[in-house]
Amino acid sequence: MAPHRLHLAVILFALLATGCAANVTVEQPTIPEPHIEQLPLSVAVRIPAKFNNFVHEENVLGRETWTIDLGSANAAFFKQLFSYMFENVIILGPDDNALDHTFDALVEPDIEGFEFSVPNQSKTDAFAVWIRYKMRVFDSAGNSAASWTVSAYGKSQKEGIGGSKALQRAAVLAMRDAAALILLQMNKATKISDLADGPLDIPALGAESVAGPDAPPEPGGSFGIFAIGGIDDEGE
Amino acid sequence: MKVNNSLAIVTAISLSGCVTARVEDAREATTGLNDGESVVVMAKSYHQGNETEADYINCVESALGRGSKGLNVIPNQNFVDNLFPWFEPRTAPADTKGLVKLMKRPGVTDAVKKMGVRYIIWLDGDTERVAQGGSLSCAAGPGGGGCFGFAWWQNDADYEASVWDLEGYETAGTVTADFSGTSFLPALVVPIPLIARTQSKACKGLAQQLRAFIVSDEKA
């Protein structure tokens, strides 16, 4: 085989191979400054290690492999979100000892689930992304105060060939959906503002729950709120 | 040269598929637009199953703003960003009752006034392929290639625009556009596409009617 034909064969093979795999890298999303009143709280936010390098890989219908690299997008997103939400925010790394800091409440966000669908699956022209975040809230003494599941959804229509941009946009829209829900419902769902008055009036569950990265004991059950078409104000 | 250009234009027009159209409006309140007032075009939430295409919204936005009698249109992403988080797909008010409550939120009315938005136009609907048929086959060989056969398809574009007046926090009315277009693709060696631009015509038809609806001083 002549060298130029060999090169052509290699290029064709490479093109065919990349046709079965798609990589999507999500740039760090920013959210606009919200029209909400800041909560008068000093909050420590512990960013889990996986928020700095979150990669989701999935094989769709045995044909394409999609790799979605959120990188540090979640970490940047939560830092910005909480800085808009609370008067004072302290960012803690996964290995930082929370007891070295003074705060009213500690929030530990986590990703419980990440799913997506491509047009082949949904039989539409849209890519969709679902992200399930879990928000754990602790008081200043380390007691687990609340656990809240936030289910976010983003959808974007396919543009041009491939779908990397549409899937990337759907992921960003899902994060923005989570931001809207957290901004408007977190206080109602977790009663985090009550922690400004001091720690919960219950026997301490052990200071190590906020001091270290280990999973803390669950409080009296976790719950989720799902609201569409305007936010329900009843009970606020 | 001029004859050639004219011939090309006439051929292009005659080679498009046929589209049937129906555009109607239902007025509930008197409208009108003062100097410095704007409109914003939004899609109803996809959380509620709406499938309105992003390019259709862009098309209506630019069609409303085009020409000497064009309306002042605020790009919907600017509007949504300036009012974050109140007009996200999940949080946007579903009716004018929710709008009244939303406008009482701190900073919301000021942000709307700053942008000069008088009307929100909520788009609902999509373009769908409802029927198709025929068969077309193409082949290529060392001596050349070609296609033979006939294919056709029908697209329906059904859209509804609800107009909310931010002055009285009420629904001013709705404009609906139902367009149906059939495209043909006959092929005798060379395929000749006769495409019906259903969505594009639905965009122009709806935008034209919306513009007339908003600037009109007709009483409800």
Contacts 24+ apart (CB under 8 A), B144-147: B146/B187, B146/B189, B146/B190, B147/B187, B147/B189, B147/B190, B147/B191
Share of chain A above pLDDT 90, in %: 44
The alpha-carbon gap from A140 to the nearest alpha carbon of chain B, in Å, equals 29
pLDDT of residue A235: 40
DSSP string across A201-229: SS----THHHHSSSPPPP-S--EE----S
Q: Which residue among A36, A126, A180 sits closest to B88, beta carbon to beta carbon?
A: A180
Q: How many residues does chain A have?
A: 236
For the cut 80, the answer to whether the pLDDT of residue A115 exceeds it is: yes
Tokens of B47: 């959380």
For the cut 60, the answer to whether the pLDDT of residue A30 exceeds it is: yes
A207–B contact, CB cutoff 8 A: no
B56-71 tens-digit pLDDT: 999 999 999 998 889 9
pLDDT confidence tier of residue A130, bands split at 50, 70 and 90? very high
In B, which residues are within 8 Å of A35 by CB distance? 83-86, 105-108, 111
For the cut 60, the answer to whether the pLDDT of residue A181 exceeds it is: yes
pLDDT confidence tier of residue A126, bands split at 50, 70 and 90? confident
In A, which residues are within 8 Å of B92 by CB distance? 229-230
Contact between B197 and B7 (Cβ < 8 Å): no
pLDDT confidence tier of residue A11, bands split at 50, 70 and 90? low
pTM confidence score: 0.82
DSSP state of B91: T
d(CA B152, CA B193): 10
CA-only gyration radius of chain B, Å: 22
Burial B180-197 (b: 16+ CB within 10 A, else e): bbbbbbbbeeebeeeebb
Q: Which residue among B45, B54, B86 sits closest to A228, beta carbon to beta carbon?
A: B45
The domain defined by B16-215 carries CATH number 1.10.150: no
d(CA B214, CA B31): 6
Q: Which residue among A37, A126, A180 sits closest to B85, beta carbon to beta carbon?
A: A180
pLDDT of residue B125: 95
Instruction: Name, in order, each residue with C-beta under 8 angstroms of B110's C-beta and a sequence gap of 6 or more.
Output: none
How buried is residue A236: exposed, middle or buried, by Cβ count under 10 Å (0-12/13-18/19+)?
Answer: exposed
Q: Which residue among B90, B107, B108 sits closest to A228, beta carbon to beta carbon?
A: B90
Which CATH number is A37-202 given?
3.40.50.10610
B111–A contact, CB cutoff 8 A: yes
In A, which residues are within 8 Å of B102 by CB distance? 230
Alpha helices by DSSP H, A95-149: 119-122
pLDDT of residue A12: 52
B6–A contact, CB cutoff 8 A: no
Domain positions in chain B: 16-215
DSSP string across B123-187: EEEEEEEEEEEEEEEEEEETTEEEEEEEEEEEEEEEEEEEEEETTTTEEEEEEEEEEEEEEEEEE
Strand-by-strand arrangement of the A21-25 sheet: A21-25, A64-71, A54-60
pLDDT of residue A206: 45
pLDDT in tens, chain B (220 residues): 454 555 555 455 556 778 999 999 999 999 999 999 999 999 998 887 788 998 999 999 999 999 888 999 999 999 999 999 999 999 999 889 999 999 999 889 999 999 999 999 999 999 999 999 999 999 998 888 899 999 999 999 999 999 999 998 999 999 999 999 999 999 999 999 999 999 999 999 999 999 999 997 666 6
Cα B16 to chain centroid distance, Å, stands at: 20
pLDDT of residue A224: 39
A197-235 tens-digit pLDDT: 888 876 544 444 554 444 444 443 444 344 555 555 544
Q: Name residue, tokens 């940047």.
A: A76
